């Protein structure tokens, strides 16, 4: 749960309200939770059946054949990570700079400088032994849940139902425009849920992973859904939605209305703390993915290099950090969030949801310690919802996601031809 809460919920709140144009925006948080739940069944079944380090990398390889098309899918996963991981870091850095302006008013250029410097600072902090990194990470995460609970408590004790349920005329007119807005808003909310599956990357290190992976996923999704729903409702019950949807630092304004300007400064500092912590954790985890694939021989060898003295994957870390730095300067927040999802949906989320159906046909029942309820309904619903969300990112980002995948496929075949690997083996 801690891994799921970054800057995301604090920066997308106004965007979600604006996309839906009223308190009916709560539906987008429900839809995000529903998609996470349906997809959670897929991850739970795969994670329990194949508890190993690597998560999706291992799943896709096994589903589509470790010596055949699984090589392509696992390569594409790492390929999109090279772009998607820096986008995640950039989104957090942009959100950080946005909230930073509550403390120190800055123009557009000033915010870009802050977001770029933040990425550099995180790379510098991570450029050391993993034992030291672990101590820093533990220190950074202390304030996360406490901050969320404080915000929800403040909203609950100052809740105004007239504000919270001030629905505009035609709020529930289920027209084409309504569903377009719901899809666009849900792109933002599902972004804040991402991470419920991270336990699958630690499968080898868990006790009873067959039981604890599904438990972790469902408890995380349920707990976070309650927190997010309560926080959205708290904000709507304190700040009129027409004002909230245009706020650049909604949580700071929310606390200021309840407790005054000094408390708002404290809340802003805590939000920045959470943002920094989540970026630190994200870049740490992501930097190990291209490294692990390179060591496994399925990605470019240069990413397998480690620091000669400190023994961490420095090439992978520096590459992702450099791309994140550029993205943090080039893009706006909403663009980054849409790009993140457009890039991940086809290969990772839909690839796995389709894959679990394929795997069920090819493996005996005892291969699956956990079986999703009402199979194959959750997988099919997840596929349809992911497809809907993919197109809701917008034509520009949907086509961009397809283009990145096609370029990755081309790179895979060129590399396979050079090293005489599948499908060009002697």
- How high is the pLDDT of residue 2? 66
Tell me: pLDDT of 285 over 80.
Answer: no
> Tokens for 215?
């438990």
Q: What's the rounded mean pLDDT across residues 15-23?
A: 93
Residue 248's pLDDT band, with cuts at 50, 70 and 90, is confident
d(CA 302, CA 304): 5
Half-sphere exposure of 29 (CA within 13 A, CB side): 23
Roughly what angle, to the nearest 10 degrees, separates helices 144-157 and 250-259?
A: 50
Residue 237's pLDDT band, with cuts at 50, 70 and 90, is very high
- Mean pLDDT score of the chain: 89
Residue 134's pLDDT band, with cuts at 50, 70 and 90, is low
Q: What's the rounded mean pLDDT across residues 280-297?
A: 83
Q: What is the DSSP letter of 69?
A: I
DSSP letter string, 316-380:
HHHHHHHHHHHHHHH--HHHHHHHHHHHHIIIIIIHHHHHHHHHHHHS-GGG-SS--TTTTHHHH
d(CA 172, CA 163): 17
pLDDT per residue as tens digits for the range 77-127: 999 989 998 998 999 899 999 999 999 999 999 999 999 999 999 999 888
Tell me: pLDDT of 13 over 70.
Answer: yes
d(CA 152, CA 17): 18
Half-sphere exposure of 265 (CA within 13 A, CB side): 5
b vs e for 195-232, b when ≥16 Cβ sit within 10 Å of the residue's Cβ? bbbbbbbbbeebeebbebbbebbbebbbebbebbbbbb
- Distances 302 to 263, 288, 307, 420 between C-alpha atoms, Å: 48, 13, 12, 18
d(CA 356, CA 377): 12
> Tokens for 384?
């349809």
Q: Find how far residue 230's CA is from the centre of its chain.
A: 20
Angle 220-277-332 from CA coordinates, rounded to 5°: 95
d(CA 386, CA 282): 23
CATH 1.20.1740.10, domain 8-419, yes or no: yes
Sequence ranges of the domains in the chain: 8-419
Give the rounded percent of residues in the chain with a pLDDT score beyond 90.
63
Tell me: pLDDT of 262 over 70.
Answer: yes
- How high is the pLDDT of residue 258? 93
pTM here is 0.87
Tell me: pLDDT of 404 over 80.
Answer: yes
């Amino acid at each position: 749960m801690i891994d799921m809460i970054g800057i995301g919920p604090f920066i997308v709140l106004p965007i979600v309200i604006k996309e839906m144009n009223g308190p009916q925006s709560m539906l987008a948080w429900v839809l995000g939770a529903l998609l996470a739940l349906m997809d959670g069944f897929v991850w739970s079944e795969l994670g329990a059946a194949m508890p190993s380090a690597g998560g999706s990398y291992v799943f896709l390889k096994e589903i589509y054949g470790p010596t055949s098309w699984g090589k392509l899918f696992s390569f594409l996963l790492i390929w999109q990570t090279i772009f998607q991981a820096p986008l995640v870091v950039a989104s957090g850095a942009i959100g950080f700079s946005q909230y930073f302006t509550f403390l120190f008013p800055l123009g557009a250029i000033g915010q870009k400088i802050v977001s770029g410097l933040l990425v550099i600072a995180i790379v510098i902090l991570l450029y050391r032994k993993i034992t030291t990194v672990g101590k820093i990470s533990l220190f950074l995460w202390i304030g996360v849940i406490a901050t969320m609970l404080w915000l929800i408590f403040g909203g609950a004790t100052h809740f105004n139902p007239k504000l919270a349920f001030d629905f505009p005329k035609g709020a529930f007119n289920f027209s084409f425009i309504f569903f377009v807005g719901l899809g666009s808003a849900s792109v933002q909310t599902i972004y804040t849920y991402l991470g419920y599956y991270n336990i699958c990357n630690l499968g080898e290190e868990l006790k009873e992973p067959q039981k604890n992976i599904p438990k972790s996923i469902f408890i995380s999704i349920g707990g976070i859904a309650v927190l997010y729903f309560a926080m959205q409702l708290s904000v709507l019950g304190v700040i009129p939605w027409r004002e909230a949807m245009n706020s650049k630092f909604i949580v700071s304004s929310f606390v200021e209305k309840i407790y005054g300007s000094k408390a708002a400064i404290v809340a802003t500092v805590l939000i920045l703390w959470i943002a920094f912590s989540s970026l630190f954790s994200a870049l740490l985890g992501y930097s190990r993915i291209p490294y692990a694939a390179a060591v496994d021989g399925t990605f470019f060898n240069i990413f397998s290099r480690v620091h000669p003295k400190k023994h961490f994957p420095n090439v992978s870390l520096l590459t992702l950090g450099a791309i994140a730095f550029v993205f943090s300067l080039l893009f706006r927040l909403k663009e980054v969030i849409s790009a993140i999802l457009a890039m991940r949906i086809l290969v990772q989320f839909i690839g796995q949801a389709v894959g679990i159906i394929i795997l069920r046909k090819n493996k005996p029942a005892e291969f699956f310690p956990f079986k999703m309820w009402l199979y194959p309904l959750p997988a099919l619903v997840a596929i349809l919802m992911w497809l809907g969300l993919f197109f809701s990112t917008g034509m520009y980002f949907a086509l961009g996601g397809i283009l990145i995948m096609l370029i990755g496929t081309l790179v895979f075949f060129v590399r396979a031809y050079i090293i005489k690997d599948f499908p060009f083996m002697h």
